[in-house]
Amino acid sequence: MTISKEVLDELLKDCERPEDLLGDAGLMKELKIKLMERMLGAELGAHLGYEAGHDAPVDQSNRRNGTSKKRLKSQDGELPISVPRDRDGSFEPELVRKGQTRIDGMDDKIIAGLSVRDIRSHLEDVYGLQVSPDLISRVTDAVLDEVKDWQVRGLERLYPIVIFDALRVKIRDSDSRMVKNKAVYVALGISRDGVREVLGLWIADNEGAKFWLLVMNELKNRGVEDILIAVVDGLKGFPQAITAAFPDTMVQTCIVHLVRHSLNFCSWKDRKGVAADLRLIYSAPTADLAAEELDHFEEKWMDKYPSIAPAWRRAWQEIIPFFAFDPAIRKIIYTTNAPSQRLQAIACRARIESLNRVIRKTIKTRGSFPTEAAATKLIYLAIRNFEKGGRNVREWFAARNQFAIMFEDRFNA
């Protein structure tokens, strides 16, 4: 679309200073508001089947019903717009959706891992705006205030399941100025109503009992009084810390990670067979039968892959609680999927793996982060994006009944 010289001359005839064009009450901001309101009006006209100023069809009860005020955040600051309404409330605008608070797409660009320079290019290409790096930094740093509120928000009294996991991120150290591999720890909780909720994220140089105890105490200070099952991937010092903070919590090694760790030792041609035999272990109906299957596995694969069976035996005390659970609960902790006779990745039903994929996709375009705050901001936005994809655990109804029986006093308290 080309804007004629006459239209531009008319728009700019009263602009004498830069602020007349770009200021808080300038032409650019007013033009954006007016164009948005005109487009919203056109959307409503298409929805109702008649334009503003015309009569509605005689057999149609739904009519225009005034406007409602909405304030949107953008790189121009807040934009107060009037959104047209219809009588029966069936109008769902595409330009500005219900519940939407931002229109500049900046968060999505941050989630995509773009740098300040990339965001500047995006704004110039899409909006024709030249925005300073300082302004972009101030706008994007506003996310940090949201992160701080999120990190200290109150939590539920009880979480039947909390899955703890870690991934590595390259961050420049503030003291040495050298880029280091730091661990980002994420806690994904399942509430009594079967709602997935990321409880928090923490960045640390090293893990250990002292670090995990701080995490546990933080969860307690935010309102968590009990965790029924804590699923963990061999994180150092975790069992001691969880026992100190939540003495009655059952610590369960993550079967997903244990299987993946085992397959790392296998050649590609043996992976399908090894995975099938491992499945006989963790799908056994009882711990005793699982132990027998582990013995059979060791006899079959010990010569070729001597590291796998010992790894399972070292973690056995944190594996055997799994076999006390009904299949309804097991399905929430893990699932397998092997369509077309091909082994697929094992993924936690509670979707910790799905969450990790979202985070890794977000950070993969960044070689390293300049600060922990920058990494925290980006990972938080990835988490927020992940939680938009649906938070309810599908199999929860059957699992909830099992939890109510197995942990009667604690689950129903």
Q: What is the pLDDT of residues 164-210, one digit of tens each?
A: 887 888 888 777 778 888 888 888 898 988 888 899 989 887 667 78
Whether residue 341 is predicted with pLDDT greater than 70 in this model: the reply is no
Residue 316 has a CB neighbour count (10 Å cut-off) of 14
Whether residue 154 is predicted with pLDDT greater than 70 in this model: the reply is yes
Whether residue 340 is predicted with pLDDT greater than 50 in this model: the reply is no
pLDDT for residue 111: 43
Average pLDDT, the chain: 77
Rg (CA), the chain: 27
CA distances from 107 to 102, 112, 249, 311, 388 (A): 9, 9, 38, 42, 14
What one-character-per-residue DSSP string does 126-159 give? Answer: HH-----HHHHHHHHHHHHHHHHHHHH----SEE
Q: Judging by DSSP bridges, how do beta strands 77-86 and 64-74 pair with one another?
A: antiparallel
pLDDT for residue 342: 28
pLDDT digits (tens, 9 = 90+) for 31-71: 778 878 887 888 888 888 877 777 788 788 888 888 888 88
Of residues 269 and 392, more confidence is placed in 269
pLDDT for residue 334: 56
pLDDT for residue 246: 92
Of residues 127 and 244, more confidence is placed in 244
Domain ranges of the chain: 5-52+61-148, 156-411
Of residues 189 and 260, more confidence is placed in 189
Evaluate the CA torsion angle 217, 222, 223, 229 in order and state its sign.
negative
Confidence of residue 75 (pLDDT cuts 50, 70, 90): low
Helix (H, G, I), strand (E, B) or coil at 183: strand
- Range in 70-74, 282-286, 352-356 the model is least confident about: 352-356
Secondary structure tally for the chain: helices H, strands E: 18, 7
Whether residue 344 is predicted with pLDDT greater than 70 in this model: the reply is no
Whether residue 156 is predicted with pLDDT greater than 90 in this model: the reply is yes
Confidence of residue 130 (pLDDT cuts 50, 70, 90): low
Q: Region 238-267: what's the mean pLDDT? A: 85
CA nearest neighbour of 281 among 273, 289, 272 = 289
Whether residue 360 is predicted with pLDDT greater than 70 in this model: the reply is yes
Residue 15 has a CB neighbour count (10 Å cut-off) of 14
Whether residue 131 is predicted with pLDDT greater than 60 in this model: the reply is no
pLDDT digits (tens, 9 = 90+) for 271-329: 999 999 998 998 888 889 999 999 999 999 999 999 999 989 988 887 887 787 777 67
Confidence of residue 348 (pLDDT cuts 50, 70, 90): very low
Confidence of residue 337 (pLDDT cuts 50, 70, 90): very low
| Separation of alpha carbons 263 and 318, rounded Å | 20
Whether pTM exceeds 0.75: no
Whether residue 236 is predicted with pLDDT greater than 60 in this model: the reply is yes
8 A C-beta contact, residue 219 and residue 191: no
CA distances from 291 to 77, 264, 394 (A): 63, 22, 30
Q: Region 4-26: what's the mean pLDDT? A: 71
